[in-house]
Structure 1
Amino acid sequence: MAAVLDQPASKPRQALGRKQWIGLAVLLVVACVLPFVLGNYRVFQLTLALAYAIAILGLNMLTGYNGQISLGHGAFFAIGAYAAAILMDKAGWPYWATIPVAGLVCFVAGFLFGLPALRLEGLYLALATFALGVAMPQILKYKAFEHWTGGAMGVVIVKPDAPEGVPLSQDQWLYFFTLFWVVVLFVAGWNLLRGRVGRALVAIRDQPTAAKAMGINTALYKSTTFGVSALYTGIAGALSAIAVQFASPDSFAIFLSITLLVGVVVGGLASISGAFYGALFIQFIPNIADQISKAAPWALYGVFLIGLMYLMPTGVAGLVRLLRHRWDTRRRSH
């Protein structure tokens, strides 16, 4: 199904065929069955992986499709997480109502940050976003905001129960709640990236001068893409905070931003389905490395990452597309 989600953005959007719809339905059924066959901890890990997939898709819109490199998206993840945590803890909002607000706040923050960033490109933009990612934990610890953010102690929130009458545990319910947002945001992202907007983003990435000559408002597209990317990442942060029941400045250090970028590259640049592959990598590979070696888990993580990049230079989604193309070619030849 990766080939379905990852048709080249330069081509017009095509309607899904019967086989594609069946494949997507099977994947959704499998996703719905998993929480009933796995333990609560594994379900919790999958919930975080789904949240990471949303954030990686948002970052891929910016970096993979539009060519703007961000090393500070952990900051928007933090803003979304704290927006949800503060609304739940200080204002008594229901958890489900905080998600769109977190997305809206991050859209505004991303759009505003994207305006001055229009003057920056390449490594200069990467350094500017890196500075944002480095500064965010310190901003959250600032004494003037301590009443809201809890300072270095962070904000503790209560994990929500399933609605009355729904026979699901807390972890199972949050998994399905997160899965709902994954479906909504990935469908929206597919429609956005496979149409005129997606082609404009790729044109700006590949040939910015030609895109301007064709009448594309590059400034508007780039700043809006920054906002939409931040919206996705903020929603992911809110979902993650609700699942973890905690939001702390140290949870959103610069390493989180680097991890999200790793997820984009591992999954595949300019790939929608690659967000899932990247999310599974950044969620589970560190745990696997830790189980193999308690002494040097991050050394093993680096080995995994280098090996994967060597074997799959275009990411997992790129390898899947290549294998599918070879399979289709061989089938036609027979």
Structure 2
Amino acid sequence: MAATATGVHHTSYASELRLRHTTAERLRLVLMVSAVLALPWLVNGYWLGVVNTIGIAVIGAVGLNILVGFTGQISLGQGGFLAVGAFTSALLAQRAGLPVPLAMLAAVLVTAAVGAFFGLPALRLKGLYLAIATIASQEIIVFVIRRWGWLTGGQGFLDVDRLTLFGWRVPRTSFEFTWYWIIAGLAVVAVITARNLFRTTLGRSFMAVRDQDIAASAIGVDLTRTKLVAFAVSSGYVGLAGALTAHYTQTVTWERFTIDVSIQYLAMIIVGGLGSVAGAVYGAAFIMLLPPLLAELATGVRAWAPFVSDRLPAVQAATFGLVIVLFLLFEPRGLDRVWHRTKDYIRFWPFRY
């Protein structure tokens, strides 16, 4: 099959179910894997730290997109669920003495259960009303964390020991480098799992509920089970992101999980593209790269535009809002759609379609 095939024709179900159908798609996969493997040797420690935060954000954004983009259930409680995952994993590892992998697994399960519980309003609410209900979950979780002194021993934060696996501890000299492989590995697993989820009956039921829940119910989809499972699966992803945040930053505090974080994650899937696993990856990378790139820009123009550097937080906030507005106006389907249009232009050139 040619690299720029004009059509993809299947002669078997196995062929249709493949994730990659053309030579061009397989070549792009090889290039992407090569870039991931080479990246830690090509950037310095600062930018490697930024890449690590992107990897954690990718996991959380994919989870949120499962709920919002694929199931159509709006959620503004992402920060709260991140906090549940972070505090659960930190407490189990620090106080209960569980190995970190088991603590993180428990954090995923606990966050999934909490997400399913707070997803109960989705059985009766939609749209704006559901969004308000999820904001309530965010505020309830943060309120409990702030007021429950036992969680932090009255300090307001938790210190987490450097990651130790089977007696081996992450060395300080290669901290970011080592964490890169851990985070990248988990992010890849999360993306592949999500991509395959929507090839299953459960994933298709999510999309049926999103497109028309009454019609989905008419063809036999259990709306109650599907919505609660969507909240649980989404929150499980977010719990993993929270657990990674706890062990990577080595400090857990409620200030990392405010409503601003929930809005930031929602921006990721809007900019990347709702209903697209790849879009969640693009959006997470874009939104997480925006602040450091603006900081670099402010440093570069400091000589002739010092007001940009002096008001950097305000500039970052304004740019963040402007980006969301521009995407909603000019490309509501996000970066994923931009990428698809670019591929189509190249594939069909010199014809328009």
TM (normalized to structure 2)? 0.84
In structure 2, relative to structure 1, the CA distance for the partners of 1:205 and 1:304 (3 Å cut) is closer
Counterpart position of 2:98: 93
Q: Which amino acid aligns with 2:252?
A: A
Q: Describe the superposition over 1:301-322 as per-residue Cα deviations: whole angstroms up to 9, x where unpaired.
A: 3233333444432100111112
Structure 2 stretches lacking a partner, 5+ long? 1-15, 299-307
Question: Does 1:299 pair with 2:324?
Answer: no
| Partner residue of 2:343 out of 298, 318, 324 | 324
Equivalenced residues, count: 321
Q: Matches of 2:95 and 2:39 in 1, distance apart?
A: 34
Deviates more, 1:266-275 or 1:90-99: 90-99
Counterpart position of 2:163: 160
In structure 2, relative to structure 1, the CA distance for the partners of 1:135 and 1:290 (3 Å cut) is farther
Q: Which amino acid aligns with 2:326?
A: G
Q: Which amino acid aligns with 1:274?
A: G
Report SS of the residue matched to 1:247.
strand
Report SS of the residue matched to 1:286.
helix
Report SS of the residue matched to 1:323.
helix
Question: Does 1:76 pair with 2:81?
Answer: yes
Q: Matches of 1:115 and 1:82 in 2, distance apart?
A: 23
Identical columns (%): 32
Q: Matches of 2:288 and 2:282 in 1, distance apart?
A: 10
In structure 2, relative to structure 1, the CA distance for the partners of 1:239 and 1:17 (3 Å cut) is same
Q: Matches of 1:87 and 1:189 in 2, distance apart?
A: 27
Q: Matches of 2:181 and 2:272 in 1, distance apart?
A: 23
Residue 53 of structure 1: how far off its partner (Å): 0.6
In structure 2, relative to structure 1, the CA distance for the partners of 1:13 and 1:151 (3 Å cut) is farther
Structure 1 stretches lacking a partner, 5+ long? 1-11
Q: Which runs of 4+ in 1 moved over 6 A?
A: 165-168, 331-334
Deviates more, 1:52-61 or 1:198-207: 198-207
Cα contact 2:107–2:239 (8 A) shared by 1: yes
Counterpart position of 2:21: 17
Counterpart position of 2:249: 244
Cα contact 1:142–1:151 (8 A) shared by 2: no
Q: Which amino acid aligns with 1:328?
A: R
Taking the TM superposition and a 5 Å limit, the aligned residue runs for 1:43-62 are 43-62=48-67
Report SS of the residue matched to 1:169.
helix
Q: Matches of 2:226 and 2:161 in 1, distance apart?
A: 39
Q: Matches of 1:209 and 1:242 in 2, distance apart?
A: 43
In structure 2, relative to structure 1, the CA distance for the partners of 1:91 and 1:265 (3 Å cut) is same
Cα contact 1:72–1:132 (8 A) shared by 2: yes
Q: Please, what is the CA RMSD of the aligned residues?
A: 2.4
Give the greater-gyration-radius structure (CA).
2
Q: Matches of 2:30 and 2:153 in 1, distance apart?
A: 43
Cα contact 2:84–2:107 (8 A) shared by 1: yes
Q: Which amino acid aligns with 2:190?
A: L
Counterpart position of 1:148: 151
